[in-house]
Structure 1
Amino acid sequence: MAEQQQQLQRRQRVYRQRRDVFNEYNDDELIKRFRMNRAGIITVADLVRDKLQSRTERNQPLSPETKVAITLRYLATGKMQQCSIDDFGTSQATISRVITQTIDALSEPDIVTQFVKFPLTRQEVQVKQEEFMEDYRFPGVVGTIDGTHIRIVAPSVDEHLYVNRKRYHSINVQVVFDAKYRILDVLARWPGSVHDARILDESGLKALFEQNYVPAGCYLLGDSGYPCKEWLLTPYLNPLAGVQTNYNTAHKRTRCVV
């Protein structure tokens, strides 16, 4: 009997004290740590609540809001997971599971397409063009495009393909923004060594334009790393004084959105 009691005591879990960051911090402090205020975190949690809600109340489960906050903390700061352990009183294994679970939930197509959608109808396109015209006085533009390198841990397979021109491992992510800094299209599957122009050339975005899914008279703006096309405007490499120089100036000012 005594031996059974000792085994039971050894099996009993000891839980760390968890901090209630939502009551401990005001909105300014939450934004500083998580890049969102309380209402923003709750809004994100509501999007994926069904996917993040624990099915039982055993083992002190984390709420969807806490899971979102842990993930935001990790993504917003770029720090190691230890910072989340200190903030939330959870183990590193739990932190890893929470981050993976939350990102997977937010990456589901039914969630992504609520916020990331390229304009295809004449009405949608017109709205984007009017925003660029109003803010930058550049006609016909629906989006600005560029690649951005997201640093990753060196993979075990085809490691050399992920080394970019700055000599670190990355994914080269193609992104298109509208005039209001909203993402219209994102492609995040190419190794860091792949050039921006090739990513575009093999993307569904190119197909949308060249197969006439996007209405005529719509343009993307890209830097000189892209080829100039009927639907993709790039700067003059050696502009002449006057019209070409003025065009390059307007192009650069508008492209800064991305």
Structure 2
Amino acid sequence: MLRPDKADLRGVPVPRFLQLLAVLRFYATGSFQVISIEFAGKLPEVVKIPQSNEELATARNIFYRVSHFPGVVGCVDCTHIPITSPGGELAEVVVGPRLEILDIVCRWPGSTHDARIFHNSRLRLHFDRDEVSGLLLGDSGYPPLRYLYTPVRNPATPAERRLV
């Protein structure tokens, strides 16, 4: 009998027993779409933006221990995967310090720029409304915002060069 094991959770975003079940489902159906649809049904349970002071403080502390970068609650990036959106129009990737998914967007074609996807996301709305306190880190595909830090293109000061 397969059961979740705490040892399965060390450094692995998806526990091994769930990986095995996903592979077995793929072998049985020949399609990841069924898995994606079932995963999408669980999104509200597992994909959550930290909003309580305790959740945000935990995320900031873990990111600080890893990178010594204060105030960070998530890292944002786009990964284009060629599937039919299992979440339809309601689907919205930001990753937390334990590699958990905090937000996901699934409604744009692969040619859409990262900045446009973020600009139209629910996540940006939460940060714009100050419903989430903290910083996001993004790559140079995103605009620098008061809560979204991106790489400094031409570092001039010692502090800027230290970030490169």
Alignment TM-score > 0.5, same fold: yes
RMSD: 2.9
Q: Is this contact kept in 1: 2:92–2:107, CA < 8 A?
A: no
Shift of 1:100: 4.4
Q: Distance in 2 between matches of 1:99 and 1:146?
A: 23
Specify whether residues 224 and 139 from structure 1 end up closer, same or farther in structure 2 by C-alpha distance, changes over 3 A only.
same
Q: Equivalent residues in 2 for 1:78-157 (5 A)?
A: 84=27, 95-96=29-30, 99-108=32-41, 111-151=42-82
* Amino acid in structure 1 at the alignment position of 2:113: H
Q: Is this contact kept in 1: 2:92–2:121, CA < 8 A?
A: no
Shift of 1:214: 1.0
Q: Distance in 1 between matches of 2:60 and 2:37?
A: 33
Q: Distance in 1 between matches of 2:43 and 2:83?
A: 22
- The residue that corresponds to 2:135 in the other structure is 219
Specify whether residues 36 and 212 from structure 1 end up closer, same or farther in structure 2 by C-alpha distance, changes over 3 A only.
closer
Q: Distance in 1 between matches of 2:137 and 2:150?
A: 6
Q: Equivalent residues in 2 for 1:190-201 (5 A)?
A: 190-201=108-119
* Amino acid in structure 1 at the alignment position of 2:108: W
Q: Distance in 2 between matches of 1:201 and 1:36?
A: 32
Q: Distance in 2 between matches of 1:194 and 1:106?
A: 24
Shift of 1:114: 2.5
Q: Name which structure has the greater RCO, CA cutoff 8 Å, separation 6+.
A: 2
* TM-score, scaled relative to structure 2: 0.77
**Would you say 1:210 and 2:128 are equivalent positions?**
yes
Structure 2: gaps spanning 5 or more residues:
2-13, 85-90
* Amino acid in structure 1 at the alignment position of 2:117: I
Specify whether residues 194 and 102 from structure 1 end up closer, same or farther in structure 2 by C-alpha distance, changes over 3 A only.
closer
Q: Is this contact kept in 1: 2:33–2:83, CA < 8 A?
A: no
Q: Distance in 2 between matches of 1:148 and 1:100?
A: 17
- The residue that corresponds to 1:166 in the other structure is none
Structure 1 stretches of at least 4 aligned residues deviating more than 3 Å after TM superposition: 98-103
Structure 1: gaps spanning 5 or more residues:
1-21, 23-34, 46-64, 75-83, 85-89, 154-172, 250-258
- The residue that corresponds to 1:182 in the other structure is 100
Q: How many residues align?
A: 147
Q: Equivalent residues in 2 for 1:35-74 (5 A)?
A: 37=16, 40-41=17-18, 68-71=22-25, 74=26
Q: Distance in 2 between matches of 1:125 and 1:211?
A: 16
Q: Is this contact kept in 2: 1:174–1:199, CA < 8 A?
A: no
